[in-house]
Chain A
Amino acid sequence: MKDNSIYKLETMYKQYKTLYFLLFCVLFSGALMAQKGAKITGNLQSNGNFFFRDSLIGAFNTPQYDHQLFGADTWLNLNYSNWGFDIGMRFDMFNNSNILTPLGSYTDEGIGRWYVTKKIQKLEITGGYIYDQIGSGIIYRAYEERPLLIDQALKGVRLAYNLTDDWKAKVFTGRQKRQFDLQESVIKGASLDGYLTVGDSLKPVSLAPGFGVVNRTLSDGQTQELVSTLGNYFAADRIGAKYNTFAFSAYNTLTYGPFAWYVEGAYKTAEAIFDPLAERTNVGENTLGKFVFEPGNILYTSVSYAKNKFAITGDLKRTENFVLRANPFLRLEKLNDGLINFLPPVTRINTYRLLARYNAATQEIGEFAYQVDARYRASKKLSFNVNYSDVKDLDNEQLYREIFTEVTYKKKRKWQILGGVQMQTYNQQRFESKPGVPNVETITPYFEYLYKFNRKQSIRIEGQYMLVGEDGKGDKHDYGDWAFVLAEFSMAPHWTFTLSDMYNAAPGKNSPVDENGKKLALNYPRVDVFYTHKNNRFSLSYVKQVEGVVCSGGICRLEPAFNGVRLTVNSNF
């Protein structure tokens, strides 16, 4: 055993040596700011939550509501460019934060990211924490989604080389970030991206083909854990395991005039992946969920055509066993943890409050999804938008379906009104792991009215009503019917005031009940004040929010109810 004090010093040195080095770089470079070409940029994002316990809506029984009372998250980013170098670092801080695990509390702080990039003729070298992707991200995407505390940067090295003006190759290797630690497995990959035109030089067909490969090697510890788990499987379920998995992808974007077509096909070699719907043999009754040894594949394509007043887009995706994780156990433990890739969603991304209440998270094990989106601008005043999306699993079970319509009418620059209807079928059992619940059926008419008093002052009013279907016992699905109204008054360029309320107009099966078991029709109000001054933006909000699925960038998770005050600061410099 090492002497404790020496061990602590060693740990401190290891922990902060990067910080010291980068601070030195920044201070040194600061002294050289007078030099031509030097540039320092940065930004700050800071959120603070005051938690007010409300057991009626389910905002309780977490450390924040019970005794911590306050939680905060902060990201402070600093970038420096000079002499062909790009250097950056980011300080991350989480104090009693609930964004890592909505029912838990997370506290830690430190250097969340640093990187150094240097271009030497045609070679670009990057070391540190790297965000990147291959193709649409189906086999590899290192990215960040702060609202869900997804930060899957690769800590490693990337070499990118311009083979010609139109062809670029890159190779990379490293380990995936996990908060202030790293996943044990090693990731390496390569890609080749190009651009070429064929045909008539005045009206050419342009192609942007690419090819990528990614390999993940489990650590000895991860493999031992997997082997121990599989070693306890009974004969009917016994499978093998591998240290390595490889994923290959070929993709291309073809553009010809108003027509664009993206297609990507990917294959992943067999490894032990966790399938939550596979039947496990037990000593007692069988259960669902076990590791299976399967290869994976994906086909994804997107076609669009836009000319004059008309635009149409069609997307299609078929996914089968495409689970690609830094640790095979993470699919079981934390659904969004350790993702090496990103499966693009093939459903409409809604923004209005009730229209966005039910979202279809992508299914790694199997789904067949498609959507069609058409827009038509009849005149300068009048335009239409229709969207249809459908998601089934590979056994043809309906997971999600949405029909969306929207009509927009603009009266010069004075006012604008839009409205439409959305209809959804949402498989709550699959997406939210809620046992025994039927598919939620919704019909939601909505409108938005924007009126400009003058060049600076405007008011925006939203209204939505979600009608929800009933189960066989006459209970409304999930929380039942909702009404939502919002009024937003803007005084450009500084102030925005928003007042909204989400009202559980006809409570459903999961709505809160009083002490007599009577379902309660609760209000979930929200008040926001935004203040913007040049590069700084502040917001102060009181939020009472019902439990629901929150999606960010196509990644979704179930968030518990929230009741409290939120303070945010965003600054760019």
Chain B
Amino acid sequence: MKNILFAFVVLAFISSGCNEIMPTIPEPGSITSDRVILVEEFTGVGCQNCPGGSAELENLLSIYPDNLIAVTIHAGFFASEVQWHPDQKFDFRTAVGNSLVDDYFGGAPFAYPSATVNREKTQTGSFFIPLTQWPASISAELEEGSNVDLKMERTYDATTRTLEVEVDILAKLPEDARISVIITESGIIDYQKDLNAPGDGWIENYVHKHILRDMITPFDGEVISPTGIDLTQSVKKSFSTVLSSEFVAENCEVIVFVHRNTSDSKEVLQAIEMHVVE
């Protein structure tokens, strides 16, 4: 009798599994949203797992071409050396990148590749999200939508290398809201360590993309209005910078985003991106 009872428990186990309704896997890019998400990927030339993260980021950019902006920041452990490879040409580290990691996000991530997704904190209080959770975090942010209308115009003078940026914000924002302006560059060819690279584990002609090159604003942003703004009229902000001669302007993007800046939240509310050169 007791053996029959135990067999019944086991059978109940097995049969319950047959009744499962499997979750539906959505088609890529099936979410429509008015929100543009900022993904800040943390990487390093010496990070062998990071090319996998960059590939995933490119997949996501292809799936959400109008809703996703990528910034790749070389900072933390795998960017701690000036040269990871003796023939490496570029040092992708920047002072603002280091400040973001050390002074804004509370220290470098423990695992690479990591990224912030709209600078939302995870359940553990960290800004850094492991690669596996990027798609879910992006989906959640897209589904939330945005109440911030952000427009940008830019002009670039190739002779003086001066970039002028005009931003128009229409939103109801608290007094802590800030605006940040980032310059990124893509198409830079240099060495990169890669777990799956043949030979000695280095890719000589790796194409580095979305590299954080500079910020026109301070690393923690610029206050939009000390009293906050409402929906009755838009706020205009202007920025100007001279592009470093080390950057290829044709490969650069200017990224503007509006974000919170309290001790509890640094959430990016809306973002916009344009090529520096039209």
Contact = CB atoms under 8 A, between A and B. Distances in A.
Interface centre among B132, B194, B197 (most CB of A within 10 A): B132
A238 interface: yes
Interface stretch (B21-29, B167-175, B235-243): B21-29
B130 A241 contact: no
B60 interface: yes
B264 to A, nearest CB: 12
Contacts of B17: 215, 244, 246, 269
Given A333-B132, A435-B48, A190 B202 contact: no
Contacts of A131: none
A223 B21 CA distance: 12
A229 B135 contact: yes
4 closest A-B pairs by CB: A435-B201, A436-B201, A228-B136, A104-B110
B51 A287 contact: yes
Give the interface size class of chain A: 35 or more
A411 to B, nearest CB: 51
Given A103-B110, A287-B196, A282 B58 contact: yes
B254 to A, nearest CB: 23
Nearest to A246: B17
Given A241-B22, A289-B52, A332-B132, A171 B9 contact: yes
A233 B28 contact: yes
Contacts of A233: 28
Nearest to A163: B2
A407 interface: no
A374 B2 CA distance: 44
Nearest to B51: A287
Nearest to B30: A231
Contacts of B20: 242-244
A237 B197 CA distance: 22
Contacts of A288: 52, 195-196
Interface residues of B, number: 54
B25 A240 contact: yes
Interface string B1-19: 0110010011001101100
A283 interface: yes
9 contacts: A190-B13, A224-B136, A231-B135, A232-B60, A288-B195, A332-B131, A433-B48, A436-B198, A436-B200
Contacts of A232: 28, 59-60, 63, 135
A225 B136 CA distance: 5
B199 A215 contact: no
Contacts of A63: 107
Interface of A: 61, 63, 101, 103-104, 161, 163, 167, 169, 171, 188, 190, 192, 211, 213, 215, 223-234, 238-244, 246, 269, 280, 282-285, 287-289, 329, 332-334, 433-437
A188 B13 contact: yes
B55 A163 contact: no
Given A213-B14, A232-B60, A333-B130, A227 B23 contact: yes
Given A103-B110, A231-B28, A241-B22, A436 B197 contact: yes
A163 B3 contact: yes
Contacts of A225: 132-133, 136
B111 interface: yes
B265 interface: no
Contacts of B139: 228, 231
Contact of A434 (B3, B136, B199, B201): B201
B15 to A, nearest CB: 11
Contacts of A433: 48-49, 195
A243 B23 contact: yes
B62 interface: yes
A211 B13 CA distance: 13
A515 to B, nearest CB: 13
Contacts of B140: 228
Nearest to B12: A190
Given A211-B10, A282-B59, 18 more contacts: A61-B77, A104-B110, A163-B2, A188-B13, A190-B10, A190-B13, A213-B10, A228-B136, A231-B28, A231-B30, A233-B28, A242-B20, A243-B23, A246-B13, A282-B55, A287-B196, A434-B48, A435-B201
Contacts of A284: 55, 58
Nearest to B209: A284
B12 to A, nearest CB: 9
Given A243-B23, A435-B196, A436-B200, A229 B10 contact: no
Nearest to B197: A435
A223 B23 contact: yes
A227 B25 contact: yes
B193 interface: yes
Interface string B40-80: 00000000110110011011111100000000000001001
Contacts of A282: 55-56, 58-59
Nearest to B200: A436
A227 B59 contact: no
Nearest to B3: A163
B199 A436 contact: yes
B51 to A, nearest CB: 7
B201 A234 contact: no
Contacts of B26: 227, 231
Given A231-B30, A283-B58, A436-B199, A329 B133 contact: yes
B219 to A, nearest CB: 21
Nearest to A288: B196
A108 to B, nearest CB: 11
A239 B23 CA distance: 11
Contacts of A230: 25
A559 to B, nearest CB: 15
A326 B174 CA distance: 41
B10 A287 contact: no
Given A227-B26, A332-B132, A192 B6 contact: yes
